[in-house]
Amino acid sequence: MSLVTSERMLLDAQKGSYAVGAFNVENMEMVKAVIQAAEEMKAPVMLQTTPSTVKYGTLETYFALVAAEAKKASVPVCLHLDHGNSFELAVLAMKVGYTSVMIDGSHEDFENNIAVTKKVVDVAKAVGIPVEAELGKVGGKEDDLEAEADTNTDPEEAREFVERTGVSSLAIAIGTAHGFYAGTPVLDKERVSKVKEVVSVPLVLHGASGLSDEDVRECVQRGMCKVNFATELRVAYTDAGKKLIQEKPETFDPKKLGVVGIEAVKELVKGRMKVCGCDGKAY
C-alpha cells in the first residue's frame, strides 16, 4: 500500500495499549529489512531518518526508497522525520512526501520550544501531516544534539505544551538516553503514568536501544505508544558484515554484505515488534 501517516497507527496503539515500533534506517538494505519484518509480523511500522542521515542521503532519496518498498507491502508503513532540527527541514520533509515529522525544540527553553513546535504544527495541519515534539531532555547524543544530563519531563508542563502547540504525539524524558548506555539505566517509569493522566496525545519513548525487554514492556503498559530504535539496528547491520568478512575474507561483492545485513536487522526488528506488542496489529 502507499505510505500512510502515523495518526491512525498511534491512536490505535493508544487504544490497544501497545506501541508502534519506529526504526531508524540508513540505507536501502535497512529499509528492506524493516519492511520485511513488518510484513512477517503483520505489524504497522514507522521508518525514520535523522538530519544527519538526510544529509548523507537526502530527503528525496529516502522518500523514494521507502515509498517504493511500502507500495509493495500489505501493512501500513509511515516515513517519519526523526529529530527535525529546524522549521525549514520539517517543512521540506513534508513537501518531499514524508508522512510524519518531528520537530525537536527540546534544546530550547519552554516558551521557544512551544513557539517553534506550533509553527511546524500550523503548516502540518494544513496538509494533514502529524507532528511529534519533545519536552524534557533525553540524555546521550542524537546527531549533533547532545544532552549532558537528563531533565525529565514535568507532567504539568507536558499538559500545557500539548494544549498550546496542538502536537499529535509527544516524546517525554524519563531517564533514557540516545545511543547505548554506559551503565544500567534508571528509568522514572512512574512519570509515564503521570504524564498519561494529563496528556491526551500518544506518548513516545526515545532512546530504547539497549533497554531490557522488561523495561520497554512496562513503559508501553504505562502509556508509551511509539518506541524508537536506532543504534542497535546500526550495530546489528555492521556486525553482520564484519562477521562475514572475518569468516570469508575473500568477499568483495557488496550485495553479499547487504544480504547478511538485511537478515540481521530483520530479526532484530521482529523481536522488538513483539516486545512493543504491535505484531498482528496491521490494518
Show binding-site residues for Zn(2+).
83, 104, 134, 178, 206
Question: Is 73 in contact with 39 (CB distance < 8 Å)?
Answer: yes
Q: What are the C-alpha distances in Å from 53 to residues 74, 117, 210, 230? A: 26, 22, 21, 11
Q: How far apart are CA 6 and CA 130, in angstroms?
A: 7
Q: How far apart are CA 55 and CA 90, in angstroms?
A: 14
Go through 209-220 and write b for each residue having 16 or more CB atoms within 10 A of its CB, e for each that does not.
Answer: bbbeeebbbebb
Catalytic: 213? no
Q: And the C-alpha cell for 186? A: 534508571
Q: How far apart are CA 181 and CA 77, in angstroms?
A: 29
Q: What are the C-alpha distances in Å from 197 to residues 43, 145, 192? A: 27, 30, 9
Show binding-site residues for dihydroxyacetone phosphate.
179, 207-209, 228-231
Alpha-helical (H) ranges within the chain are 7-16, 28-41, 51-57, 59-72, 87-96, 110-127, 155-165, 189-198, 213-222, 231-247, 254-276
Of 12, 82, 150, 279, which is the active-site residue? Answer: 82
Active site residues: 82
